[in-house]
Amino acid sequence: GICEERGSGIDKVIAQVEIYQLPAPIFEQTQEHTRVVLFSHRDYKDMEPEDRVRACYQHCCLKYVNREPMNNTSLRERLRIDEANSAMASRILKQTIKAGLIRLYDPNSNRKAYRYVPFWA
């Protein structure tokens, strides 16, 4: 009786992590349980590349379930990257696509109109 079993917990965790600008959590699943590892605040420059890719994927998932577009601008806001450094966000997007975690919503769209969705969408 300690679990709600509605499946909204992960969405709540991701939303709160984004609000407080925390590094993306790690979700580990075993046969017996699911473990979530939460991290204290880390500046962008102190994040490992895999932390940035995980944050990008989780941001994309949250945007998708909230029916909002995920793009370079939203990722920059999520990771607090200055607009002048949009190439940094583009690099993270490319790495996340290469990892197979996200994909372009419409590959035929104009580069400025790129939107991303999780690989499973």
List of domains in the chain? 9-118 (1.10.10)
Euclidean distance between CA atoms 77 and 58, whole angstroms: 14
What mean pLDDT is reported for the chain? 92
74 or 4, higher pLDDT? 74
In the chain, the percentage of residues whose pLDDT exceeds 70 is 94
H-state helical runs in the chain: 9-19, 49-65, 72-79, 86-98
Residue 68: CB partners within 8 Å, gap ≥ 6? 74
Q: Quick one: pLDDT at residue 2?
A: 66
Whole-number Å distance between alpha carbons of 82 and 89: 10
